[in-house]
Amino acid sequence: MPRRDHSEGAAKGPSQRQLRVGETIRHALAELLVRGEIHDDTIASHVITVTEVRMSPDLKLATAYIMPLGGADLKPVLAALDRNRKYIRSVVAHAVNLKFAPDIRFREDETFEEAMRIERLLHSPKVRQDLEKADEADDNRNE
């Protein structure tokens, strides 16, 4: 039987089980936040989006990426979620049927900022100038 090279596993993405459990935990967190079961003024006063939950390979650590609506008050919201982490973990543990309740970390979702950065780049004068040159070159070839 051929031996499996463990260095290959490091290059692979998450397993189907990690993805499935992460999505289940994301839904449980979202429901918890929508229902307003966390009694914290900071959390109650914000609409919080859970964009993704990534699981560790052993499913004992969940990293939840969150963003308050409009990106306002991110640091206080993260601090409030960290303060209530034990309660959140217990509620999620009951909602998700796993052998161990995963520890949950809350992190800022930076994909929105990255998307805005790319958008600004695409609309920058340098890129617009390059696109106009490309359009002119296409027009000259078609004539």
Residue-level pLDDT at 4 = 47
Which pair of structure tokens corresponds to residue 38?
A: 């966390």
Domains of the chain by residue range: 6-109, 110-143
Q: What is the DSSP string of 16-63?
A: HHHHHHHHHHHHHHHHHHHHT-S--HHHHTS-EEEEEEEE-TTS-EEE
Residue-level pLDDT at 19 = 93
Give the tens place of pLDDT for each residue, 33-68: 999 888 889 898 989 999 999 999 999 999 999 988
Does 3 have pLDDT greater than 50?
no
Residue-level pLDDT at 84 = 94
Sole residue written with tokens 């600004």 = 120
The phi-psi region of residue 2 (left if phi > 0; otherwise alpha if psi is between -120 and 50; otherwise beta) is: beta
User: What homologous superfamily is domain 6-109 in, according to CATH?
Assistant: K homology (KH) domain (3.30.300.20)
Does 6 have pLDDT greater than 70?
no
Give the tens place of pLDDT for each residue, 72-117: 788 999 999 999 999 999 999 888 888 888 999 999 987 767 777 7
Distance CA(112)–CA(60), nearest Å, equals 27
